[in-house]
Chain A
Amino acid sequence: MYNNEITPFKHLLLICLVIFLGGCAAPGYGPIVEDLSVQARPSERMPSSSTNAPTDTLVTSQAPTLVVTAKPKPYVAPKADVTITAQPISNQVATGSVVQEIILPVVQESPLPPSNQAVVEQLLAEADQLKAQGKVTQAVIQLQRAQRIAPREPKVYARLAALQLSLGEASRAEQLALKGLTLVPNKNSYQYYFWKLIGASRSHLGDTKGEAKAIAEAKKYK
């Protein structure tokens, strides 16, 4: 609560603030959902020539602890009056058809076997539905929920990676697919899927050598 005593001046200020910040909340000021992840900087990507053994060039590292070192963005969201709801939950939008063209074939070519956990299938279905509605952030949240429940389920990584790639987060997608690979040494359909996805990610990152290697790997499992 504010200072209990009535102070007209303060109230005037407050009104100004509400109007001012209300303006900020008007549509057209960009996405409001902040993606506060720490992601590997391009220089930290695993050199694609040796996906199984990082070399010494990979020495730069991330913030050591829990600290989420997001790109510092000016803080916009909570307004002086939280009841102002100028905008619905904003969503990240897939970055254009180029990426869609890369990943769609991968997804269609190689349907993945169903998970043996009903809960995983349900959450993946919910995520698909959200994505279809254009609620991409919500879909990511559902997939992460599935990842926490079933961290050894390769299908979850397949979906997460595909979704990140469709958002243009190729580096993140590549790493998620690499993680997925470690879970499926004897599952050809997954090996194929992940290598294709890694290839697509590297292509997006301009890493042609790495892409070629990934495509060659994928072929082994076709």
Chain B
Amino acid sequence: MWLFKFATVLLVVGTVALVYLDAQIRHRFEGHRWSLPAKVYARPLELFTGQQLATGQLDYELTQLGYRWVNHAKAPGQVQKTNQGIVIFSRGFRFADGDQKGHVVEVSLKRNKITGLRQTSGASIALLRLEPQLVGGIYPAHNEDRELIQLNDLPNGFIETLLAVEDRHYYSHYGVSPWGIARAMWANVKAGAVVQGGSTLTQQLVKNFYLTDRQTLWRKLIEAPMALLLNIHYSKDEVLEVYLNEVFVGQAGKRAIHGFGLASRFYFGQPLSELKLHQVALLVGLVKGPSYYNPQRHPERAIKRRNLVLSILAQQGLISEAQKMNYQGLPLDLTEASQVSRYPAYMDVVRQQLQQHYQASALSNHGLRIFTSLDPWVQHQADTAMVEQVNKLKQRHGNIEGLQGAAVVSHRGSGELLALVGDHNGGYAGHNWALDRSRQVGSLLKPVVHLAALETGQYSLVTSIDDAPIALPQADGSLWQPQNYDHKSHGKVPMYETLVKSYNQANVRLGLQVGVDKVLQQLRRMGVEQSIPAYPSVLLGAVEMSPLQVNQVYQTIASNGFYSPLSLVRQVTEANGRLLSHFPFAVRQSASNDSIYLLQHEMRMVAREGTARGVYRFLPKQQKVAAKTGTTNDQRDSWFAGFSGRHVATVWLGREDAKPTPLTGAGGALNVWGQMMQHLAYTDHEDIKPQSIDYYYLNITTGKAMPDNCPNGVWLPMLKTLAPPINTTCGY
């Protein structure tokens, strides 16, 4: 009797347990299966007729995107060289503004300039947008990362390979395979050790998906019934699809690579659908031991494992012996693009900005897609220039202890941030020197003084300014006596020369004439919000700003006096493409077009003949740049800021402890700026001259206009209202 009772209790308990397990299985399987990290994308490269690219840029970008060079591009992700240029078979991509299909387009190039885009049909097209590079993610605490795939994303031979190696009878067993267990046991007994597991793919999934790794008895007991239940409720294909996304295939630092979709990106830099059989064999082989067979760390083990998988395929008649030999002879074909986050400083700001709008869990769990303006080429050049030039400076000056650096680059036309370097060696740990630290900006502020003067409408570039020594009483009764860098005075000089030669005494005098408060108001209009006390020393840059803030000010000058906040997130969408947020382009006029035109002219003179002229060691003579150097007291900070036709950039160098360095602005930061700009594409166009301005041929000593056959004159733009009468003589 008690036996019957016991059996009944057991039956009830068993049934309840089974019902409970069943509920768990169905809930997890049908519900929200994974938390997906937000994906962060760089800007997509837009190719259009007339687009000027930099030397090497297109190759670099295509490599980063995992494109493969072939003789005849006939599948997405392939690219082919032709006589005129290249043929690109682009991949489809879901942009924030909609889905875009892949295209086959021949891009004609002449000296890195796109001269035409043609489809295979011969029809020319206006624009080809490549898919953007995935540059990072915002990971949840457990650091699992994956890219979801569906069965129809699999390349040919994938399922066959996977099943041949992991579970030959997958489509015929019931979730567990007694035969598989028996075979494994036999193999283990024969070997005297555990050499083979009898788990089906279903069991492996149950183990990873529902249970912990701990080898507990409970786990062992429920694994098989759960696999059976899974098999009852769901089709083989459904279970397989979840397995493909769940499987653990590698580790990148703290980030765990799950699923074959991400594995393909991670190891090959390509979408899964593009993989060839030798690559498929490697991925499938990795399931057995992702760290032991890690192809990056142990390529010889990985090749061995891959070739074993290929042998199994041949044994089972899935490929011929000849195919096996062929594939086994191929290299691993791993991606050349580094898989470590290369953009720590930039990602840092992306994260900061997003956290203002999104909860941390939303960012790390919901597979949001973040579209940024990061320009991988510009970032690459900025990083390289920083590392190389800092090394050169150290060679020249001996080790400069604790030398740090930062660089910011934005797009002149839109105010979007293209690149950020937060550290002297490109990577960064701890401080992001481009944002977190503010330093005195020195002479970088002089253009703002000049702008404030020009805005009064009473100054022209030849207005005479006295560079005589100056002494100002301070609050404590002492005298402030700023000096020129060369410790000399230069008498009365035309206003433009005070900027070109960066004379301190003359600039202080100019600033005092205009009013320190006016200068500060101008600075605020250009995006510097912090409150700054109106001391005269401000006129020489006794104001602490981060490189990012400096770049904001120069961005406003570069975009003809229109302030727009430096931005880096363009759009955010859900995983399915639904648009969540976007950042409209907005501007605010902060200075008149006339004044900016004159200031830009002065700043170009600084680069042509003044303190910034060293940039032409790097740049071709015909390229126009406007720039300014900055050096603070005792050379604690070396600054350089300016812009070309397309880019606005700021570079800072200095010691962590803010002690003096051997570097001036021109001797330090200029080199990083110059090398970087040298490798960026540039477009030159005439500045658009406002109607109120004309060019005059001027005698610099008298400030008077003269006939253009007179010697020693200078052509300068001036407000027509301030234009002097034209002398009939040369005035000497």
Identify the A interface with B (CB < 8 A): 1-2, 4-6, 8, 11, 14-15, 18, 32-40, 44, 46, 51-54, 56, 58-70, 72, 75, 77-83, 85, 87-89, 117-119, 121-123, 137-138, 140-142, 144-145, 147-149, 151-152, 160, 164, 172, 175-176, 178-179, 181-186
Query: B356 in the interface, Cβ–Cβ < 8 Å?
Result: yes
**Is the Cβ of A44 less than 8 Å from the Cβ of B588?**
yes
**Is the Cβ of A147 less than 8 Å from the Cβ of B126?**
no
Which of A37, A65, A118 has a CB less than 8 Å from the CB of B546?
A65
**Is the Cβ of B690 less than 8 Å from the Cβ of A67?**
no
Contacts of A147 in B (CB 8 A): 413-414, 585
Contacts of B32 in A (CB 8 A): 14, 18, 80-83
Nearest B residue to A50 via CB reads B592
CA gap between A51 and B36 in the complex, in Å? 49
Query: B471 in the interface, Cβ–Cβ < 8 Å?
Result: no
Does more than half of chain A's interface fall in helix, strand or loop, or is it mixed? loop
Which of B97, B414, B586 has a CB less than 8 Å from the CB of A40?
B586
Query: B273 in the interface, Cβ–Cβ < 8 Å?
Result: no
Contacts of A140 in B (CB 8 A): 582, 584
**Is the Cβ of A151 less than 8 Å from the Cβ of B356?**
no
CA gap between A119 and B578 in the complex, in Å? 26
Nearest A residue to B551 via CB reads A65
**Is the Cβ of B528 less than 8 Å from the Cβ of A64?**
yes
**Is the Cβ of B586 less than 8 Å from the Cβ of A175?**
yes
**Is the Cβ of A138 less than 8 Å from the Cβ of B98?**
yes
- Known A-B contacts A75-B358, A82-B366; the reply to A185 vs B565 at CB < 8 A is no
A42 to chain B, nearest CB (A): 12
Taking A35-B584, A70-B356, A144-B414 as known contacts, 14 extra A-B pairs with beta carbons closer than 8 A to each other, sorted by chain A number, are: A37-B583, A37-B586, A38-B564, A58-B521, A60-B524, A62-B529, A66-B548, A81-B31, A82-B574, A137-B579, A138-B579, A178-B562, A179-B587, A185-B689
- Mark contacts of B576-620 with chain A using CB atoms, 8 A cut-off: 1 yes-contact digit, 0 otherwise: 101111111111111111110000000000000000000000000
Contacts of B368 in A (CB 8 A): 78
- Mark contacts of B136-172 with chain A using CB atoms, 8 A cut-off: 1 yes-contact digit, 0 otherwise: 0000001010000000000000000000000000000
B645 to chain A, nearest CB (A): 10
Identify the B interface with A (CB < 8 A): 20, 24, 27-28, 31-32, 34-36, 46, 48-50, 96-98, 126-127, 142, 144, 209-213, 349, 352-353, 356-359, 362, 365-368, 411-414, 416-417, 435, 455, 457, 518, 521, 524-530, 546, 548-549, 552, 560-571, 574-576, 578-595, 685, 688-692
Contacts of A64 in B (CB 8 A): 527-530, 549, 552
**Is the Cβ of B581 less than 8 Å from the Cβ of A66?**
no
- Known A-B contacts A58-B525, A89-B579; the reply to A1 vs B211 at CB < 8 A is no
Which of A40, A83, A119 has a CB less than 8 Å from the CB of B127?
A119
Which of B349, B365, B530 has a CB less than 8 Å from the CB of A66?
B349
Nearest A residue to B43 via CB reads A148
**Is the Cβ of A175 less than 8 Å from the Cβ of B358?**
no
Does more than half of chain B's interface fall in helix, strand or loop, or is it mixed? loop
**Is the Cβ of A59 less than 8 Å from the Cβ of B521?**
yes
Contacts of A179 in B (CB 8 A): 560, 562, 587, 589
29 contacts between A and B (CB under 8 A): A1-B209, A4-B213, A8-B20, A34-B580, A36-B357, A36-B569, A36-B583, A46-B589, A54-B455, A54-B591, A61-B525, A62-B529, A62-B565, A65-B549, A66-B353, A68-B583, A77-B580, A81-B31, A83-B576, A85-B578, A88-B578, A118-B48, A119-B48, A119-B126, A142-B97, A151-B411, A160-B585, A179-B560, A186-B691
**Is the Cβ of B560 less than 8 Å from the Cβ of A1?**
no
A4 to chain B, nearest CB (A): 5
Contacts of B412 in A (CB 8 A): 151
CA gap between A138 and B96 in the complex, in Å? 8
CA gap between A78 and B360 in the complex, in Å? 11
**Is the Cβ of A18 less than 8 Å from the Cβ of B31?**
yes
Closest 3 CB pairs of A and B: A151-B413, A78-B366, A34-B581
CA gap between A172 and B584 in the complex, in Å? 10
CA gap between A70 and B356 in the complex, in Å? 9
Nearest B residue to A118 via CB reads B126
Contacts of B416 in A (CB 8 A): 148
**Is the Cβ of B212 less than 8 Å from the Cβ of A4?**
yes
**Is the Cβ of A8 less than 8 Å from the Cβ of B528?**
no
CA gap between A18 and B31 in the complex, in Å? 9
Contacts of B97 in A (CB 8 A): 138, 141-142, 145
Which of A61, A88, A185 has a CB less than 8 Å from the CB of B524?
A61
Contacts of B529 in A (CB 8 A): 61-64
**Is the Cβ of B586 less than 8 Å from the Cβ of A39?**
yes
Contacts of B411 in A (CB 8 A): 148, 151
- Known A-B contacts A54-B589, A148-B413; the reply to A68 vs B356 at CB < 8 A is yes
CA gap between A141 and B530 in the complex, in Å? 32
A151 to chain B, nearest CB (A): 2
A41 to chain B, nearest CB (A): 10
- Known A-B contacts A4-B211, A68-B353; the reply to A63 vs B575 at CB < 8 A is no
Contacts of A69 in B (CB 8 A): 356
CA gap between A75 and B357 in the complex, in Å? 7
CA gap between A185 and B560 in the complex, in Å? 14
**Is the Cβ of B546 less than 8 Å from the Cβ of A185?**
no
Contacts of B568 in A (CB 8 A): 66
**Is the Cβ of A65 less than 8 Å from the Cβ of B527?**
yes
**Is the Cβ of A54 less than 8 Å from the Cβ of B590?**
yes
Contacts of B563 in A (CB 8 A): 61-62
**Is the Cβ of A14 less than 8 Å from the Cβ of B31?**
yes
Contacts of B359 in A (CB 8 A): 75
**Is the Cβ of A4 less than 8 Å from the Cβ of B210?**
yes
**Is the Cβ of A37 less than 8 Å from the Cβ of B584?**
yes
B262 to chain A, nearest CB (A): 14
CA gap between A85 and B576 in the complex, in Å? 9
B95 to chain A, nearest CB (A): 9
Contacts of A44 in B (CB 8 A): 588
A133 to chain B, nearest CB (A): 11
- Known A-B contacts A8-B24, A39-B586, A54-B591; the reply to A78 vs B414 at CB < 8 A is no
CA gap between A60 and B524 in the complex, in Å? 7
**Is the Cβ of B576 less than 8 Å from the Cβ of A5?**
no
CA gap between A26 and B266 in the complex, in Å? 37
CA gap between A88 and B579 in the complex, in Å? 9
Most buried by A among B98, B356, B578, B592: B578
- Known A-B contacts A175-B588, A185-B689; the reply to A118 vs B575 at CB < 8 A is no
**Is the Cβ of A67 less than 8 Å from the Cβ of B353?**
yes
**Is the Cβ of A141 less than 8 Å from the Cβ of B571?**
yes
A182 to chain B, nearest CB (A): 5
Most buried by A among B36, B358, B584, B685: B584
**Is the Cβ of A35 less than 8 Å from the Cβ of B356?**
no
Contacts of A15 in B (CB 8 A): 27, 31
CA gap between A54 and B592 in the complex, in Å? 7
**Is the Cβ of A1 less than 8 Å from the Cβ of B142?**
yes
**Is the Cβ of B591 less than 8 Å from the Cβ of A185?**
no
Contacts of A40 in B (CB 8 A): 586, 588
Which of A38, A65, A82, A137 has a CB less than 8 Å from the CB of B575?
A82
CA gap between A39 and B518 in the complex, in Å? 23
- Known A-B contacts A52-B592, A61-B529, A66-B417; the reply to A35 vs B582 at CB < 8 A is yes
CA gap between A181 and B327 in the complex, in Å? 63
Contacts of B586 in A (CB 8 A): 37-40, 172, 175-176
Contacts of A38 in B (CB 8 A): 564-565, 586
Contacts of A80 in B (CB 8 A): 32
B601 to chain A, nearest CB (A): 15
CA gap between A87 and B578 in the complex, in Å? 9
CA gap between A51 and B589 in the complex, in Å? 9
**Is the Cβ of A32 less than 8 Å from the Cβ of B592?**
no
Contacts of A118 in B (CB 8 A): 48-49, 126
- Known A-B contacts A18-B32, A142-B97; the reply to A54 vs B525 at CB < 8 A is yes
**Is the Cβ of B126 less than 8 Å from the Cβ of A68?**
no
Contacts of A144 in B (CB 8 A): 414, 570, 584-585
A35 to chain B, nearest CB (A): 6
B263 to chain A, nearest CB (A): 16
